[in-house]
């Protein structure tokens, strides 16, 4: 393709992009400025759509030529038919919605698969900061203070894993990683201690 000299995207977004099959239908919920969706459209030829809550984010996406509407994961997902996308992406957004369980189940109704990433509030820097300072943690991965953060549900890797098991969701792939995109080859408990973030590739069981 022409005009694609700069192909680099944020490392954690690249982990998501690597799981997307070319030519598929993709919905990116909370797509921000459209960085990931733009990459997928240009480099994986997906039929990509997006939902973004902020008007400025929608404007940036539209300026990129993307099909993005203003919407809210808590309220607007019911408008989509069952299995209308091959993959639905929710990147670093689950902890910011009002009803994370309902949103997670909606992802798996709309999409045949879902990719969910979360910041890990169980990481040791977060634990140590709260223990040592007695205040809500501010770290490199969680850089906003308690009064201006978008996060309203402080989820750890183990918390989300428990919800996945509770709802009988198939976990196809689990990728704990650092903010710079470096993968960590470790199990759930160690990842809960050391990973800044985690990626989950999910599928609802058939039948």
What local confidence, expressed as pLDDT, does residue 85 receive? 98
What are the E-state strand segments in the chain?
25-29, 47-52, 67-70, 85-91, 111-119, 170-177, 197-203
- CA distances for 156 relative to 11, 138, 186, angstroms: 21, 16, 15
What local confidence, expressed as pLDDT, does residue 126 receive? 77
Regions of the chain with pLDDT less than 70? 1-6, 130-131, 133-153, 207
- For the record, the structure tokens of 142 come out as 């969680």
Domains in the chain, CATH or no CATH each: 5-121+153-203 (3.40.50.150)
What local confidence, expressed as pLDDT, does residue 35 receive? 97
What local confidence, expressed as pLDDT, does residue 133 receive? 67
Mean pLDDT of the chain, nearest integer: 88
What local confidence, expressed as pLDDT, does residue 151 receive? 53
Half-sphere exposure of 17 (CA within 13 A, CB side): 22
Alpha helices, DSSP H, located in 2-123: 11-17, 35-43, 55-63, 100-110
Pairwise CA distance, residues 175 & 56, whole Å: 30
Round to the nearest angstrom and report the end-to-end CA distance of the chain: 42
């Amino acid at each position: 393709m022409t005009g694609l000299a700069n192909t680099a995207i944020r490392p954690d977004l690249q982990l998501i992009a690597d799981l997307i099959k070319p030519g598929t239908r993709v919905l990116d919920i909370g797509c921000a400025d459209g960085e990931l969706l733009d990459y997928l459209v240009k480099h994986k030829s997906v039929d990509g759509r997006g939902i973004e809550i902020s008007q400025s984010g929608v404007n940036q996406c539209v300026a990129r030529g993307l099909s993005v509407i203003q919407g809210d994961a808590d309220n607007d997902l019911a408008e989509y038919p069952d299995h209308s996308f091959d993959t639905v992406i929710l990147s670093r957004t689950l902890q910011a919605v009002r009803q994370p369980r309902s949103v997670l189940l909606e992802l798996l109704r709309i999409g045949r698969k879902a990719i969910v990433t979360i910041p890990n509030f169980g990481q040791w820097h977060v634990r140590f900061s709260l223990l040592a300072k007695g205040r809500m943690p501010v770290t490199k991965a969680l850089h906003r203070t308690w009064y201006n953060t978008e996060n309203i549900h402080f989820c750890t890797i183990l918390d989300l894993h428990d919800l996945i098991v509770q709802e009988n969701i198939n976990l196809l792939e689990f990728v704990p990683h650092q903010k710079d995109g470096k993968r960590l080859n470790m199990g759930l408990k160690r990842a809960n201690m050391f990973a800044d973030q985690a990626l989950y590739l999910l599928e609802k069981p058939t039948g």
